[in-house]
Amino acid sequence: MKKSKQFWPFIIVAVLVYVVVQVLISTGMMNQFYSNTLIFIAINIILAVSLHLVIGITGQFSIGHAGFLAVGAYISAIITMKLQLPFVVAIIVGGVVAALAGLIVGIPSLRLKGDYLAIATLGFAEIIRIVFLNIDYVGGAAGMQVSHLTTWTYAFVCLFITVLVIVNFTNSRHGIAAISVREDEIASDAMGINTTYYKVVAFAIGSFFAGVAGALYSHNFYIIQPGQFGFLKSFDILIFVVLGGLGSLSGAILSAILLTVVSTYLQGYPETRMIIYSLVLIIVMLYRPKGLMGTMEITDYFKLWRTPKGGGQHGK
């Protein structure tokens, strides 16, 4: 797939956003609350986009993403805190080990389909959590203290690379194959596509970036505990993807931003916070079961404005 002509504008805008935010932070015009919220948003977008690759593009129903987040978080924390290596090494190794965990989980369980796969991934994520719970080297249930190393620069660069890789993967030959697996696994098998291979590859890439997000996560919040990576965390990530619209990258990004901001602002209303959150979920699912964006991307809306006839090509 040749590079799109929108590639360079994208790079320029990304650099621009980064520079503006960085200037605001370093001049002190943006206080720690906003900069931290931005880092948290970036981490959540990485999680959402990495799960989007697994569920939205490849159609594999995984509800155990927090397990890979935990692997990345713990492995990277061990590297910086116990082995005293630089943070960059920690991010990469965290991602690689999470990808390996993704392979270990993916190879047996991706033979399963639909709900069964969902249950198996949920089970694997819980097992990963319990393993960390029982390792005293990483603090057991009480958790492990981690230095604060994540900065806006690290978060943004990781986010940028994640989005770039996943967009390129989606638009590549591999991505098309993965989409065909989502649309009809049996048919694509019959067409000679090695469905297992594409499923496992997508799963491993998704796990890799979840691991990267884990590294950023553990070095942003001072402490990690196994309890933070339970199945409710997996559901949170799943909700980003589904609420945005399955198969829509921009939808996943938008809903990650939206939900993080909403959740942060509701912190001051503890009595009603979770009630509002759950009502939003239910209402969106009842009235827009395909998510806010469906399978559309934001660019499609622009296309609609320009050429009213061209809108339907993404409908399945």
- Work out the end-to-end distance of the chain between its first and last CA atoms, rounded to an integer number of angstroms: 22
Name the residue type at position 220. N
If the CB atoms of residues 96 and 112 are measured against other proteins, the closer one turns out to be: 112
Among 109, 180, 195, 207, binds other proteins (CB under 8 A): 109
Contact flag: residue 212 with other proteins (CB under 8 A)? no
If the CB atoms of residues 90 and 243 are measured against other proteins, the closer one turns out to be: 243
Among 19, 23, 116, 161, binds other proteins (CB under 8 A): 116
Contact flag: residue 152 with other proteins (CB under 8 A)? no
Binding part of the chain for other proteins, among 94-102, 132-140, 192-200, 201-209 by CB under 8 A, reads 132-140
Min dist. Cβ of residue 61 to other proteins (A): 6
Min dist. Cβ of residue 141 to other proteins (A): 4
Dist. CA 240–CA 252, nearest whole Å: 6
Dist. CA 233–CA 253, nearest whole Å: 17
Among 32, 173, 309, 316, binds other proteins (CB under 8 A): 32
If the CB atoms of residues 73 and 96 are measured against other proteins, the closer one turns out to be: 73
Contact flag: residue 21 with other proteins (CB under 8 A)? yes
Dist. CA 184–CA 297, nearest whole Å: 22
Chain positions 53 to 72 lying near other proteins, rule: CB under 8 A, are 55, 61, 63
Contact flag: residue 22 with other proteins (CB under 8 A)? no
If the CB atoms of residues 147 and 194 are measured against other proteins, the closer one turns out to be: 147
Chain positions 253 to 272 lying near other proteins, rule: CB under 8 A, are 253-254, 257, 261, 264, 267-272
How many CB atoms sit inside 10 A of residue 113's CB?
12
Q: Tokens for 115? A: 């709900």
Dist. CA 172–CA 185, nearest whole Å: 19
Contact flag: residue 176 with other proteins (CB under 8 A)? yes
Contact flag: residue 151 with other proteins (CB under 8 A)? no
If the CB atoms of residues 193 and 303 are measured against other proteins, the closer one turns out to be: 303
Dist. CA 200–CA 44, nearest whole Å: 23
* 41-78 as b/e: b if 16+ CB within 10 A: bbbbbbbbbbbbbbbbbbbbbbbbbbbbbbbbbbbbbb
Contact flag: residue 172 with other proteins (CB under 8 A)? no
- What string of H, E and C letters represents the secondary structure of 141-209? HHCEECCCCCCHHHHHHHHHHHHHHHHHHHHCHHHHHHHHHHHCHHHHHHCCCCHHHHHHHHHHHHHHH
Contact flag: residue 274 with other proteins (CB under 8 A)? yes
